[in-house]
Structure 1
Amino acid sequence: MLEERIRNPDLAARVMGADEAAARIGPGMGVAMSGFTGAGYPKAVPQALARRMAAVQAEGGTFQVRVMTGASTAPELDGALAQVKGVQLRLPYQSDPILRERINAGEVDYVDMHLSHVAQSFTYGFYGDIDVAVVEVAGILPDGRLIPSTSIGNNKTWLDRADRVILEVNRALPLELDGMHDVYYGTQPPPGRTPLPLVEAGDRIGEPWLRCDPAKVVAVVETDAPDRNSPFAPPDATSQAIAGHLVEFLRHEVAKGRLPKTLLPLQSGVGNTANAVMYGLADAGFSGLSAFTEVLQDGMLDLVQGGVIDVASATALSFSPDALARFRDNIDFFRSRIVLRSQGISNHPELIRRLGCLAMNAMIEADIYGNVNSTHIMGSKMQNGIGGSGDFARNGYLSFFLSPSTAKRGAISAIVPMVSHVDHTEHDVAVIVTEQGLADLRGLAPRQRAKAIIANCAHPDFRDALTDYTERAWRASFGRHTPHLLDEALSWHQRFVETGNMRPG
């Protein structure tokens, strides 16, 4: 098995245990890890590093590192390091509950970034040096090139920029992944940039493997552990209603001649609502579709397998255990229909604009004028991060933001007078969808947007209060273009913080 996975003799000689490999990482270092939405992250070395940190702390010392990834990872990485308070800085995206708690307690410096900016920022040295890269791969070729894992993320940049590299070779990954990836090495810094030669979602413009200078590899660790992705719940009535409104809108756009029958390349965020939308497209009879997105989830896999989507481009495979089993059983079929790229390409604004992606992302709340908060609870508590939603919302052909109209069993309205944090301004938001309905904001002035959002998207329990606010703001606001009552605009959030409910009285 060793010879099958690690075919370079020099690197095979550097195989060691996770604890020995983790000893190559010291306090204060910048450590770049592979991983994107629970796929392709290292499993053994982060846990070994956490054990070292705990031992140092038990003796009264301090041991923290700066952690960079592609996006969110899993308990074996973010959770393990956060549990021992071993993370000084984290970027660009996370979803671990322990790490989130540390961030919101002010114990971890968190830099929330557009995912398309990460590789460029580190290439230009904006965020300091990368001392060590820890990257999971499926195998090592005789010449030292690497067969990527279930995600690529920022791995190209980590391997290029890191002073030292630790490789985790995971036997749980199918070697048949070889050939599914497309790693582009033609990007250049300005002013020497040239257009990226990709004109359709499935184009291959690079090579199937990651390059890595073997001289930088200080350890190779063998693992045999699957990605940690939870099963997706079946679409509930709320998700199905959101999907139904969105699919009906797409049908309308096709009928008006504003979209082709095959639509435009789909981008879909993570979660059960996104999966419900995918299933809705299949049920609606669409076919010949394509996807240019960040993550492939169960819904997109089903559409590829069912012939609804002809080709799907992403940077990660974030499948439930059942979907992953189907993927493995049919991997030869999927290899010609799925392309995995670096996130600097999957999220590249130039490509998103050129391809005309349909961007469908979740939100925490939207205000009556169409500004969207996708990251913060009550304005100050980080949930996960902006991820790639901004890359696609600003540059796509159409940007949709989706959410149930209420949260916390009806105590929170997703439609508020003013969002408590702005991630996507009204200028980047074309359509808002809740289970109540859909508001098409294109071509509407602010007061027209407010009427459309309240009438179509707000829950009935909050609709009258929103209407009352807007009418009073239109009469008494400092200005009439985007009317607000500044002493009331965030009162709904303050009421929730104080009472646990946005409803008045």
Structure 2
Amino acid sequence: MVTSPVERIRNTLLKTKIMSAEAAAALIPTGANVGMSGFTGAGYPKQLPAALAKRMKHAHATGEDFRIGLWTGASTAPELDGVLAEAHGISMRLPYQSDPTVRKQINAGEMQYTDLHLSHVAQLVWFGFLGNLDIAVVEVAGILPDGRLIPSSSVGNNKTWIDQADKIILEVNSMQNMGLEGMHDIYYGTQLPPDRQPIPLVRASGRIGEAYLRCDLSKVIAVVQTNQPDRNTPFAEPDETSQRIASHVIDFLGKEVKAGRLPADLLPLQSGVGNIANAVLAGLNHGPFEKMTAYTEVLQDGMLDMLRSGKLTSASATALSFSPAALKEFNDNIDFYSKRIVLRPQEISNHPEVVRRLGVIAMNAMIEADIYGNVNSTHIKGTSIMNGIGGSGDFARNAFLSFFVTPSTAKNGAISCIVPMVSHVDHTEHDVQILVTEQGLADLRGLSPKQRARLIIEKCAHPDYRPALTEYYERALRESPGQHTPHLMHEALTWQETALRVMETTA
């Protein structure tokens, strides 16, 4: 359903604040901390960032260093991260990104980057730990007569941005389906310590809040109208490697059900973003489990397929991240999906308290793991950021079951993703229960470091690298007898040096 933007602005006061994106961008000063909506390519402002980038370029041409601190829910899209980075307009980025230009500038030392657990961001802003939030720029699907806001295709940190920012700019996107109205659950019960109360969410599909965002209208300085879709690229069809990883996960879940450690309908599913994640979901959609639920941060194509088939009865998330084909399916049948999907603020969708209470089954990707089960999910060879930790840590440490998945090799087999020691640690061995590659699955629950090492090498390492990993481990045992976690510290990271040379020659 497409209506004109002005028809969606039903508040009399806010109608007087309507202006062009260029006029609104002129209200953002250099050096401001700006919280923008957007979570994994959904619900981000489309018009204002381009206008702001144009203003930044003009300022730079006259010798002015015009940059802002950019805070979001998670990654966004080229129309936000991309244009501002190309204008060299971001001084500090948080809490997560996936844009190639942003990544390049971070790794070149041209942009500061604070990589945060996604569940922590809102509370850190409320605590005042990140500095003042000067302006919020938030996409909404509409504005009610009383000034309440109809959230867009993502919620992310929007509640906190609106509450905490000194000033607010709203971008009303008439391309967003009005069927989204009522799909959101905005919880206003969080408090600062020592006045916190338990979050009263006891099932994945439960509702504990309101369908709309509250807004102090006196803080709104501009309303921008737009009519542009979210931009998400299609997911690739699952390849053989992804299908093999998915098969290992599904077989393991079946054994857990048979052993009585999981109910027949499993426990709420959380799935990270990407092709492997969608392959696992596709496998579950054709697997033996019925009446499943999801409690995750991003709803992707795979879960939409499961809702359509009936395998999944409900899904809770903070954002909708669909390919163009899946988005069309969602919009064409939004009455069906709106009864089965709940969109929450990310401080709730990723909250450790809720994740642990619900007993979530967490499945996330990694860059590499070492033979003791430590996982690197953010850095290439220890120094260059890829994207960020995102919500993987929120779920991994608190899940009922915590999976980390990856192909066993990268760069066409030239690099092993199972190494003696990871070059950067995002998830320690204490938070990693199960490692999976296309080679197999290592169930690490209850094992000592030495037991883990043998199992990971046997089950997860590629056959081309197993002998070298085994030789490293056996020498470590001999040279440091009696050590709890045997390592050859003088060569533990030499595999990364080899990988660096491979990457330099294939770049």
Fold equivalence (TM over 0.5): yes
Q: What is the aligned partner in structure 1 of residue 109 from structure 2?
A: 106
* Pairwise CA distance, 1:373: 0.2
Deviation of 1:497 (Å): 1.9
| Aligned counterpart, 2:10 | 7
Single out whichever of 471-480 and 336-345 deviates more from structure 2.
471-480
Structure 2 CA distance, aligned partners of 1:477 and 1:67?
48
Query: Out of 374, 378, 403, which is 1:375 matched to?
Result: 378
2:5 and 2:382 mapped to 1: Cα distance?
Answer: 51
What is the correspondence of 1:192-211 to structure 2 with a 5 Å cutoff?
Answer: 192-211=195-214
Partner Cα distance (1:495, 1:27) in 2: 43
SS of the residue aligned with 1:209? coil
Q: Deviations over 1:164-186 (max 9, x none)?
A: 00000001101111000000001
| 1:463 aligns with one of 463, 466, 483 | 466
- 1:500 CA displacement: 4.1
Q: Which residue pairs with 1:306 in the alignment? A: 309
Are the counterparts in 2 of residues 495 and 501 from structure 1 also a CA contact under 8 Å?
A: no
Contact 2:6–2:225 under 8 Å retained in 1: no
Separation of aligned partners in 1, 2:310 and 2:55: 49
Deviation at 1:488, TM superposition (A): 0.8
Alignment counterpart, residue 175 of structure 1, candidates 178, 184, 198 = 178
State the SS of the aligned residue for 1:290.
Answer: strand
Please say if 1:226 is aligned against 2:210.
Answer: no
Q: 1:319 aligns with which of 310, 319, 322?
A: 322
Mapped to 2, the partners of 1:412 and 1:158 lie a distance apart of 42
Distance in 2 of aligned mates of 1:481 and 1:129: 46
- Equivalents in 2 of 1:498, 1:332: separation in Å? 53
Number of residue-to-residue matches in the alignment: 502
C-alpha separation between the residues in 1 aligned to 2:5 and 2:156?
26
Amino acid at match of 1:9: T
Aligned CA-pair RMSD: 1.0
Say if 2:235 is the partner of 1:255: no
Report if aligned partners of 1:411, 1:501 keep a CA contact under 8 Å in 2.
Answer: no
Post-superposition CA distance 1:418-446 (Å, at most 9, x none) = 00000000000000000000000011111
Counterpart CA distance in 2 for 1:27 and 1:99 is 19
Distance (whole Å) between structure 2 residues aligned to residue 116 and residue 499 of structure 1: 36
Equivalent-residue separation in structure 1 for 2:249 and 2:420 (angstroms): 24
* Equivalent residue, structure 2, for 1:236: 239
Instruction: State the SS of the aligned residue for 1:215.
Output: helix
Instruction: Quote the sequence identity (%).
Output: 65
Aligned partner of 1:274 among 277, 289, 293? 277
Report the equivalent of 1:443: 446
| TM-score (norm. length: structure 1) | 0.98
One of 134, 142, 147 as aligned partner of 1:144: 147
Superimposed CA distance per residue, residues 34-65 of structure 1 (whole angstroms, 9 cap, x where no aligned partner): 00000000011011000000001111211010
In the alignment, the residues of structure 1 paired with residue 180 and residue 236 of structure 2 have an alpha-carbon distance, to the nearest angstrom, of 27
Q: What's the counterpart of residue 453 of structure 1?
A: 456
1:52-103 residue CA offsets vs partner (Å, 9 max, x unmatched): 0000111121101000000000001101111011100000000000000000
Per-residue Cα deviation, 1:444-467 (whole angstroms, up to 9, x for no partner): 111110111000000011111000
Per the normalisation by structure 2, the TM-score is 0.98
Q: Secondary structure at the match of 1:166?
A: strand
The one-character-per-residue Cα deviations of 1:164-217 (angstroms, maximum 9, x if unpaired) are 000000011011110000000010111111111110000000000001111111
Equivalence for 1:187: 190
Distance in 1, matches of 2:169 and 2:82, equals 20
- CA shift, 1:397, in A, is 0.4
Which position in structure 2 is the counterpart of 1:162? 165
* Cα distance in 1 for residues equivalent to 2:32 and 2:267: 43
Counterpart in the other structure of 1:427: 430
Q: What secondary structure does 2:316 align onto?
A: strand
Aligned ranges 1:377-392 → 2 under 5 Å: 377-392=380-395
**Equivalent residue runs for 1:212-223 within 5 Å:** 212-223=215-226
Give the conservation status (yes or no) of the 8 Å contact 1:152–1:343. yes
CA drift at 1:478: 6.9
Contact 1:243 1:277 in 2 (8 A): yes
TM-superposed CA distance for 1:2, in Å, is 4.4
| Alignment partner of 1:405 is 2:394 | no
What is the letter of the counterpart of residue 104 of structure 1?
N
Verify the 8 A CA contact 1:373 1:422 in the aligned structure 2. yes
Partner of 2:369: 366
Answering whether residue 48 of structure 2 is matched by residue 37 of structure 1, we say: no
- What secondary structure is seen at the aligned counterpart in 2 of 1:385? coil
Give the whole-Å Cα distance in 1 for the aligned partners of 2:504 and 2:410.
Answer: 10
Instruction: Name the residue aligned to 2:358.
Output: 355
Q: 2: distance between equivalents of 1:33 and 1:277?
A: 32
Amino acid paired to 1:5: R
Q: Displacement, 1:477? A: 2.3
Distance in 2 between residues matched to 1:66 and 1:500, nearest whole Å? 32
Q: State which of 88, 92, 95 in structure 2 corresponds to 1:92.
A: 95
**2 CA distance for matches of 1:320 and 1:278?**
15
Q: Quick one: structure 1 residues 2 and 278, their matched pair in 2 at CA, closer, same or farther if it must change by over 3 Å?
A: closer
Instruction: Name the residue aligned to 2:495.
Output: 492
* CA displacement 1:259-293 (0-9 Å, x = unmatched): 00010000000000000000111111211100000
Are the counterparts in 2 of residues 412 and 501 from structure 1 also a CA contact under 8 Å? Answer: no
Question: Within 2, Cα distance between the matches of 1:111 and 1:501?
Answer: 26
Tell me the amino acid that sits aligned with residue 223 of structure 1.
Answer: T
Partner residue, 1:126: 129
Which 5+ residue runs of structure 1 have no aligned equivalent?
none
For residue 305 of structure 1, report the CA deviation from its aligned partner.
Answer: 1.0
Q: 1:64 corresponds to which residue?
A: 67
Q: What CA deviation, in whole Å up to 9, does each residue of 1:226-265 have, x standing for no partner?
A: 1110000111100000000000000000000000001000
Mapped contact 2:5–2:226 kept (Cα < 8 A): no
Unaligned runs of 5+ in 2: none
In structure 1, give the amino acid aligned to 2:265: T
Q: SS in structure 1 opposite 2:248?
A: helix
Q: Could you tell me how far 1:499 is from its partner in structure 2?
A: 4.7
- Provide the C-alpha distance between the structure 2 equivalents of 1:57 and 1:192, rounded to a whole number of angstroms: 46
- Partners of 2:52 and 2:481 lie apart in 1 by 56
2:51 aligned residue: 48
Residue in 2 that maps onto 1:77: 80
What amino acid sits opposite 2:285 in the alignment?
A: A
SS at match of 1:472: helix
**Does the 8 Å contact 2:119/2:346 carry over to 1?**
yes
